[in-house]
Homo-oligomer: A and B are copies of this chain.
Amino acid sequence: MELRLLKGTNDYLPKEQIIRSRIKEILTETFELYSYRPLETPILEFYDILASKYAGGAEILKETYNLTDQGERKLALRYDLTVPLSRVIGMNPHLKMPFKRYEIGKVFRDGPVKLGRVREFTQCDVDIIGIKSMQAEAELIALANDVFNRLNIDVKFEINNRKILSGILLQSGFSDEDLPSAILSLDKLKKIGRVGVEAELEEKGLKGEPLEKSFKLLDKTGSTSEILKFLSDSITQELALDGLKEIEELFKLLKIMSIPDDKVKFIPSLARGLEIYTATVFEAFAIKSPITSSLAGGGRYDEIIRKFLQTDKLFPAVGISFGLEPIYETLLSLDEKIDEKNRVLVISIKSDEIALQITSKLRSENIITEYDFRQKGVSKSLDYANTEKFTWIIIIGPKEVKERKYTLKNMETGEENKISVKEIINTINNQP
């Protein structure tokens, strides 16, 4: 048997996992600050539910891991957290609306592995179901802004409304049938430029006047208010006008909620995927990092829950999803320190009994303490304390035990003192 991991899955050793845990902690704290409540759904679901017509689309279905259990039931591993959320809403008709929940959990895709695409990964989703007003979008963008402030990552939000993009294409002469394909290509404007998009569209047979007209409207540069002004002067199509009204409302709300102007930008070509979004879409990008993929993204999807549940009842919904992996990579690239907590290493030299007692005492004072089991001599223990970045070490030997004064060393300043346990606790607790 050769020890190995499936490509696209990872072991996260402590060094990396400490940072990942801290990111999840900040996400959770902020989600709760905004009064979102936790939900946990299973990883194993019945295949027919995950595969239902309106769930994820054919492409995702192809990548769904499926299995048969001992009872010959056809099961699958969930590929996102949105289908389980829709199922929960369907199965719990007495849930009060709006339903504000977050879920952080593993999802699985049996697809090709490449940079930024793995087979088992963690999604961090926040959704609000039951609110038609743009206040829901504003709240989620404010929440994301707060998350990135806490993480010390400078971000910019790109915001659009799918009604505007669709409306512009229709007004320019594209047909309803052209839309999905045209939008898919236009969404890449930032990545592959106008020439790239044109080439892609031509291959699909989409060219000529409608394309020229669309670009004229979508290519406008300037501030958000300049682009809004330009579009409201140029747009006649009803859907686009409706979207424009919504986006104006959203930017007004963001101002009310004190999101700085220069953090939010209206990008009329932004589409953010195809299948589910019905109106607002947004993505957050790090400003000073080589990581170009978005760190979070979301939007309004007013139709999928209703379609999934095959009901006439409306379930307006807005959600945002944070990417644990790109956030982790961004933090590394920014050399951003995640506050490591102060940690103490207790080193015993043939004085285990007292050393164990002092270890217990420190822990009872809520000081993170490691009892050094190595016992291979002080210099080896000091090496370990250095590599593992302990803040403090305490050395306890027969001489110290006799005097009831123990050596406390600050590993950052090098300062060393022989003091009582009480003084040790005070010194550590008064450390800034």
Contacts and interface: CB of A to CB of B under 8 A. Distances in A.
A357 B67 contact: no
Contact of A75 (B6, B73, B369): B6
A263 interface: no
Contacts of A146: 363
A37 B14 contact: yes
B139 A371 contact: yes
Contact of A13 (B43, B92, B369): B92
A319 to B, nearest CB: 15
A403 interface: no
Contact of A67 (B17, B67, B90, B101): B67
B38 A3 contact: no
Interface residues of A, number: 92
A39 interface: yes
Given A65-B67, A370-B35, A9 B40 contact: no
Contacts of A37: 14, 17-18
A11 interface: yes
A45 interface: yes
A48 interface: yes
Tell me the number of copies of this protein: 2
A341 B75 CA distance: 38
B11 A384 contact: no
B65 A40 contact: no
A110 B69 contact: yes
B34 A363 contact: yes
A420 interface: no
A369 B33 CA distance: 6
B11 A88 contact: yes
A21 interface: yes
A45 B371 contact: no
Contact of A369 (B6, B34, B39, B370): B34
A135 interface: yes
B257 A360 contact: yes
Among A32, A37, A253, find the residue whose CB has the most chain B CB atoms closer than 10 A. A37
A130 B120 CA distance: 30
A380 B46 CA distance: 38
Interface string A180-221: 000000000000000000000000000000000000000000
Contacts of A65: 44, 67, 69
A96 B381 CA distance: 12
Interchain residue pairs A-B with the least CB separation, the first 10: A35-B370, A14-B37, A67-B67, A9-B42, A12-B40, A17-B38, A3-B90, A257-B360, A131-B373, A3-B91
Interface of A: 1, 3-6, 9-14, 17-18, 20-21, 28, 32-35, 37-46, 48-49, 52, 65-67, 69-70, 73, 75, 77, 84, 87-88, 90-92, 95-96, 98, 100-101, 106, 108, 110, 119-120, 128, 130-131, 133, 135-136, 138-139, 142, 146, 253, 256-258, 309-310, 341, 343, 352-353, 356-357, 359-360, 363, 366-371, 373-374, 384, 387
Given A11-B40, A135-B352, 16 more contacts: A3-B87, A4-B46, A10-B40, A11-B39, A14-B39, A17-B37, A32-B341, A33-B363, A33-B366, A35-B370, A44-B108, A44-B119, A65-B67, A98-B373, A100-B370, A257-B356
